[in-house]
């Protein structure tokens, strides 16, 4: 097995996953612009070719399971080669509004539907997508435990929780992984749970590693966004935050040049060197994006390079 195909154990599970996972939100076509089935299918193929075996989808990736159906098309006959993760407890209603629903009935129904769409009898990892403020988290966790008991998922996991929510969830349903947002510019969610995860050997599969493309370093300071580009709604894509991120990217570009890699690869490699991080989930809608992203897996950064980046990030935080 070459270095880029080296696997990491996910938490205490026996799942062996690639350090970069393919995030399937962009191919759902809900918010990314210019998504086509042809390009999405090519992206999934390219991920496999590049040594990725970990695929992250969800009940709500598409208004009607679009990401799952694309995955099922490519992965038919390759079930044994991949680790499939999905999430339940969020859906889009008839008006295409996003609804968080952590009731046990919905969790069980979403789980059955996910299996049907993916055309598998069991998936490897099922997350509660997000705690539902209207439902005690122990109740949602109880349903997730039931999903595992039924054999629909090998392991349970939970996404978007703080330390207290994680502990309450675990009182009803042990997890092998969590899924928080995490990137150079947004580390708070992981900081809240890192110690617990390290102590209990819970894997962290983090998302927004590239902050939806910002940290891929290809959006110039004066990039003209399409008016319908939803990234403009994120604070980090606006005003001073945008300018400061671009200042960081200038420095990252220089270091990436010295290392002979791209900014996206440097950012992902840095992420994979952070304590407790098991997997960087990276979204893509075109093959060349995931090819670039996957090539970050074998990159090793030394102490000096890591310290330089940490210093730049520290400078960014100081007023």
Q: State in angstroms the smallest separation of the CB of 319 from ligand NAP.
A: 26
Q: State in angstroms the smallest separation of the CB of 121 from ligand NAP.
A: 22
Nearer of residues 55 and 319 to ligand NAP, judged by Cβ: 55
* Secondary structure (3-state) at 10: coil
| Residue closest to ligand NAP, measured at CB | 283
Nearer of residues 153 and 211 to ligand NAP, judged by Cβ: 211
The beta-carbon contacts of 76-83 under 8 Å, at least 24 apart in sequence, are 76/119, 78/48, 79/120, 81/48, 81/53, 82/48, 82/53, 82/54, 82/55, 83/10, 83/15, 83/16, 83/17, 83/53, 83/54, 83/55, 83/124, 83/125
Integer Cα distance of 287 and 216 in angstroms: 15
52 near 25, Cβ under 8 Å?
Answer: no
Nearer of residues 68 and 172 to ligand NAP, judged by Cβ: 68
Q: State in angstroms the smallest separation of the CB of 163 from ligand NAP.
A: 17
Q: State in angstroms the smallest separation of the CB of 180 from ligand NAP.
A: 8
Nearer of residues 58 and 302 to ligand NAP, judged by Cβ: 58
Q: State in angstroms the smallest separation of the CB of 139 from ligand NAP.
A: 20
Nearer of residues 133 and 151 to ligand NAP, judged by Cβ: 133
* Secondary structure (3-state) at 156: strand
Q: State the residues that interact with ligand NAP by CB under 6 A.
A: 23-26, 32, 56, 129, 159-160, 179, 207-213, 216, 218, 264, 281-285, 289, 292-293
- Kindly compute the dihedral angle of the four CA atoms of residues 299, 305, 309, 311, in this order, to the nearest 10 degrees: 160
């Amino acid at each position: 097995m070459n270095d880029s195909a080296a696997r990491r154990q996910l938490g205490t599970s026996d799942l062996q996953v690639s350090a970069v996972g393919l995030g399937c939100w962009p191919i759902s076509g809900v918010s990314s612009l210019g998504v086509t089935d042809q390009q999405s299918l090519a992206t999934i193929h390219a991920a496999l070719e590049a040594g990725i075996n970990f695929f992250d989808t969800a009940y709500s990736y598409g208004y009607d399971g679009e990401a799952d159906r694309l995955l099922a098309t490519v992965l038919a006959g390759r079930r044994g080669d991949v680790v499939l993760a999905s999430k339940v407890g969020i859906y889009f209603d008839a008006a295409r509004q996003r609804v968080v629903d952590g009731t046990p009935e919905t969790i069980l129904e979403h789980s059955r539907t996910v299996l049907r769409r993916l055309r598998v009898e069991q998936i490897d990892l099922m997350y509660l997508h997000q705690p539902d403020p209207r439902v005690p988290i122990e109740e949602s966790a109880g349903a997730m435990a039931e999903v595992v008991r039924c054999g629909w998922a090998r392991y349970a996991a939970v996404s978007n929780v703080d330390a207290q929510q994680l502990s309450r969830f675990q009182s009803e349903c042990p997890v092998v992984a969590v899924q928080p947002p995490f990137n150079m510019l947004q580390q708070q969610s992981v900081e809240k749970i890192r110690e617990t995860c390290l102590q209990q050997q819970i894997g962290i599969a983090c998302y927004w590693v590239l902050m939806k493309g910002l940290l891929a370093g290809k959006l110039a300071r004066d990039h003209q966004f399409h008016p319908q580009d939803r990234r403009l709604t994120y604070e980090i894509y606006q005003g001073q935050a945008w300018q400061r991120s671009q200042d960081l990217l200038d420095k990252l570009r220089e270091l990436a040049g010295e290392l002979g890699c791209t900014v996206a690869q440097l950012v992902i490699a840095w992420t994979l060197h952070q304590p407790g991080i098991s997997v960087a989930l990276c979204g893509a809608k075109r093959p060349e994006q995931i090819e670039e992203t996957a090539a970050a897996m074998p990159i090793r950064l030394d102490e000096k390079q890591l310290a330089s980046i940490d210093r730049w990030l520290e400078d960014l935080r100081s007023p």
